[in-house]
Structure 1
Amino acid sequence: MNIVGLDIGYSNLKLAYGNSEKGMQTAIRPAGAAPADRFGSRFDGKEQDDFLHVLVGDEPFIAGVSSDRAEMWERSLHSEYARTPSYTALFHAGLLLSGMTEVDVLVTGLPVDQYKDEVRRAELEKQFIGKHKITPKRTVEISKVKVVAQPTGGLFDMISQDDEENPLIDEDARILVVDPGFFSLDWVLISNGQLQRGSSGTSHQASSVLLEQAGILIAEEYGSKPTVETFEKAIRAGKKSLLVMGQRVDIEPYLKRASDLLSANTATSILTSLRVEKMSPDIVVLVGGGADFFRGAVQTAFPKLKVISPQNPVLSIARGYWELGAA
């Protein structure tokens, strides 16, 4: 059975794919996507070798690149993201990266506030199921689509990594799963094997806001504010510093200060949603690309609880989707 777990984020496209008998492979690309005519040529005349060329309808798009590569094209940072051409281009790019022409099960997700909307879930399932012409010479057919709340994927990934002999997660535990993404910070409470909708939610005080705040802090001391995209590229590349007005600046202290400034809002949003429950969570699972940025805030909100994460949490949602499809 061919399975695809597709996590189309605002900052990164994450993919887990493979046959259920042969196992999972993963891929990650930046989540920039725009019409092909919005991209210029390299200054040295060489070919752009990192472009993924796809179709959106009949229009050529380039996807899987940093969002600041396109000229005269704004990235989508709003709740209607799943309805945009860029999102469709990234969906097609994910199918292209999988190398599959037939997909038995595709699992994807929505932010918690959108997942609660049955119409929105049905719309995304309809958008993904069926035949898709992703390039002039390649068509992919998807037989079944499942849409879940985004943090759920991270929990499946954590459970698949847990040590069966010495598990971190008790099977009777009430589990709070927190997923700090680029545009939204989502959380779900799982109790008795069920998602408690009244205690699950979404905040927009997420990684993009944190990076914007870090840029403001740097500007106050160095006179110029690095863009969010500049931070993104540095973090993807594993760089510890940025060049600001010709001077190298260590970004770690500014990310920490920005996280501390947002921590109160983060804690308040989650704790407020949990007031409807008679019991607190037993453990917190922190997943997603912003896990390291928000670890301190989450631990502050739940000082008595253990906060755990799967390995390489940036891919945890997509890996969990694949595990869910395989199950």
Structure 2
Amino acid sequence: MTVLGIDIGYSNLKLACGDPGGEPRVLLRPAGAAPADRLGEKIASNGEEDFLRVLVNGEPFVAGLSPDRAELWSRELHEDYPSTASYRALFHAALLLAERDEINRVVTGLPVTQYLNPELRERLAGQMRGEHEITPRRKITVNQVKVVPQPVGGFVDYVWGLPDASEIEDSRVLVVDPGFFSVDWVLISNGELRRQSCGTSLEASSVILDEAVRLIAQDFGGNVGRERLEHTLRKGHAQVRLLGERVEVAPYLKKAADKVGPIVTTRLRESLRKENASADLVLLVGGGAGFFEEAIKDAFPQLKVSTPEAPVFANVRGFWRMGA
């Protein structure tokens, strides 16, 4: 039986694939996707492509490339993202990367506020089930689909890694998942989701990047652009070149995070007001964990804040474990 965990984000495509009984193979690709005719041509190309070519409703798309590579094509950054052609292209890319003709079970997530809408959950599950024409000569079948609140994947991954899972059986765990478009959180008490204390804030990583771009422009007089700054971070570079200068990005990201982080934590603490007991542990997962770690620790000074190894994969590893 093949299980595929997929996390189709606004910045990255993450997947975990494999058969139950072992450990999944995990992959990370940029979440850029656009019609194939919108792709700019590299001047110095060695013939190798760093993206995938797929079909969406019979039309050729490229997927898994940096979002700034497409021309005359806007990046999707809104709540209806799962219904877009770009999202479908990334889903087809994930199926292709799974290297299977049939996938028994797909597990994926939605931001908390979207998950709480049963119609949206079923629409996404129905969109992913069935036979998909991925390329002109490749069809892949998905038999079952399970949709969960995104941060729950990180919780499952955390519990799986504990030497003794019984130590948190009666604990209240607050899972915070900063992504590119939204910061989502769930409160899990005695293994159950506390829906009244789940929430979403749109003051996410994209807002921090926008603020860092604004601060850099103030000091250096030019606009480095959100996508270029994002690409710099994805490559692990410490500097970005702007108007002939090399700019250290870390100080500007910290200033931006110091401004945006408290806005998120205020909203988060408000959502917990109805609870008659506090959380016992904060679990910080997701690709934007580093941006918000300091704000979360300041907001919950008496609690342990735990961040897993490779937090960008935490949700998708958990999705796979739920399916397996």
TM class by smaller structure: over 0.9
Partners in 1 of 2:17 and 2:226 — Cα distance? 30
The answer to whether structure 1 residue 233 and structure 2 residue 231 are counterparts is yes
Of residues 278, 293, 296, the one that matches 2:294 is: 296
Matches within 5 A, 1:27-38: 27-38=27-38
**Correspondence for 2:163:** 163
Of residues 207, 213, 216, the one that matches 1:218 is: 216
Of residues 172, 180, 183, the one that matches 2:181 is: 183
**Correspondence for 2:280:** 282
Secondary structure at the aligned position of 1:276 is classed as coil
Q: TM-score, normalised by structure 1?
A: 0.97
Residues 210-255 of structure 1 show CA distances to partners (whole Å, capped at 9, x for unaligned) of: 0000111111111112211112111111111111211111111111
Matches within 5 A, 1:1-327: 1-44=1-44, 46-164=46-164, 170-326=168-324
Partners in 2 of 1:282 and 1:45 — Cα distance? 53
Q: TM-score, normalised by structure 2?
A: 0.98
Residues 38-97 of structure 1 show CA distances to partners (whole Å, capped at 9, x for unaligned) of: 013211354351120000011000000000101100000000100000000000000000
Partners in 2 of 1:275 and 1:121 — Cα distance? 27
Calculate percent identity across the aligned residue pairs.
50
Question: What's the CA shift for 1:162?
Answer: 2.3
Change in Cα spacing, 1:168 to 1:20, as seen in structure 2 (3 Å) is: closer
Gap runs ≥5 in structure 1: none
Question: What's the CA shift for 1:168?
Answer: 11
Partners in 1 of 2:23 and 2:293 — Cα distance? 30
Question: What's the CA shift for 1:169?
Answer: 5.8
Asked if the contact 1:159/1:169 (under 8 Å) is kept, the reply is: no
Residues 258-316 of structure 1 show CA distances to partners (whole Å, capped at 9, x for unaligned) of: 11101221111100100011111010000000001100111111111000011100111
Partners in 2 of 1:103 and 1:169 — Cα distance? 34
Change in Cα spacing, 1:120 to 1:226, as seen in structure 2 (3 Å) is: same
Residues 126-162 of structure 1 show CA distances to partners (whole Å, capped at 9, x for unaligned) of: 0011111111111111111000000000111111222
Gap runs ≥5 in structure 2: none
Secondary structure at the aligned position of 2:68 is classed as coil
| Aligned-CA RMSD value | 1.2
